[in-house]
Amino acid sequence: MNYYEFFRLIKGAIYIKKLVVIGANEFQKKLVVRANELGYETHVFAWEEGAVAKEIADFFYPISITDKESIFKFVSQINPDGICSVASDMAMPTVNYIAKKLGLIGNSLESTELTTNKFKMRKALSEENLPCPNFYLVKDSNSIDFEGIKFPVIIKPIDRSGSRGIRRVEYIDEIDNAIENAKTVSSEDRVLVEEYIDGKEYSVEHITQNGRHIFLQITEKFTTGAPNFIEKGHLSPARLSNEKKQEIINIVEKSLSVLKVENGASHSEVKITPDGKIKIIEIAARMGGDFIGSDMVYLSTGFDFLESVIRVAVGEPIKLDDFNPIEKNSMVSFIFNDFDKGKFEFLKKMYPTIIKEYYIKKEMNNVYDSSSRNGYFILETTNKELLSEVLKVTNMED
């Protein structure tokens, strides 16, 4: 009898709270693992392909995470105590739709729209004078007023995450191709054309309960740069002054309130321009992916983010008494090719104790967005000199 079979046996003997999880990918798997550890009966919904959480869930339902009505029919019979998801914009409309229909805890459908539709998000934040790039919603290049656009620009779908469909465009003759590329990964026939903001990018993690925003961590982001800006790694905590850190927190928390985020995790992305101004890139009412929420927050602060997401979903108070951020650095670095794999093997040989988790594909494939990367490794350390060395080896040092 393995670990999960033992838990199922125990659960069958006593009353247990039920948790519905929308999605079953690698990030959701960590959520299901934590729910299992906390003693919840887990009901997981997702397409079977790539559903790595299937084997550890108490119950698995092979239904698309966007098929709200089909999932609702099952969930209404399950009578769960809560419903949640992490690191997936596509899952949140289903989570909050079902939460509303069953009287469970979530965010409003209005907030869901504001935090999953990038155009509506930009519009709401701009109307409150929060610092956003200039933006345009277009169907094709014929609807663009090129008189009012300064190149380069960013073309992006209004409803996707993980760098999918995003492209920096330098010249007018690249616009049509970039727009069509964004549409291919979107459910919408219109895309955003945004002012390109130069500067260093950061992500900001919060947990919100009953409208109270609790700041957790700021993470420094490293990307491939133009044209696709695929994340190649993250570092927590970000190397920022206390004054700049507080300025970012204030802007993000005002933004969360404008977007009517009342419950659950949030992942906000901002840039600091060369002249020190903060610009909001995106705000999502869900945990950050790329292991930022599931691993890095805990490693660098000691705060159990996954448990808190579950607690909010089932209506239990977040545990804050023991939230006393520890002085550690956590980092994730992604594998794009054999050269990156070689750098990881070097670090694993030289500094094995700092590696907390890793996965590398046997065969390297072409990387075109964050979903196609060829692996990752997560580390933690309190040694600043060692951290600096790792950043140099992984080519993530400025």
The per-residue pLDDT for range 107-123, each reduced to its tens digit, is: 999 999 999 999 999 99
pLDDT of residue 366: 94
Position 226 scores a pLDDT of: 80
> Given this model, what pLDDT does residue 341 score?
97
Which tens digit of pLDDT belongs to each residue from 15-61?
Answer: 689 999 999 999 899 999 999 999 999 999 999 999 999 999 999 99
122 touches 132 (CB < 8 A) = yes
Residue 222 tokens read as: 């490293």
Beta carbons of 107 and 312 less than 8 angstroms apart:
no
- Alpha-carbon distances of 239 from 81, 195, 247, rounded to whole Å: 40, 26, 14
CA-nearest of 341, 359, 338, 337 to 349 is: 341
CA contacts within 13 A on the Cβ side of 296: 30
With both helix axes pointing from N to C terminus, report the angle between 109-116 and 92-102 in degrees, rounded to the nearest 10: 180
pLDDT of residue 58: 97
pLDDT at residue 249 tops 90: yes
Is residue 187 predicted with pLDDT exceeding 70? yes
Q: Average pLDDT, stretch 277-292? A: 96
Determine the pLDDT at residue 165. Answer: 81
Give the C-alpha separation, 392 to 350, whole Å. 14
* CA 152 to centroid of chain Cα atoms: 26
Task: Say whether pLDDT at 9 is over 70.
Answer: no
Strand partners for 18 = 41
Is the pLDDT at 3 greater than 60? The verdict is no
* Encoded tokens for 330: 């956590």
Question: Average pLDDT, stretch 300-318?
Answer: 96
Question: Is residue 186 very low, low, confident or very high in pLDDT (cuts 50, 70, 90)?
Answer: confident
Confidence band of 6 (pLDDT split at 50, 70, 90): low
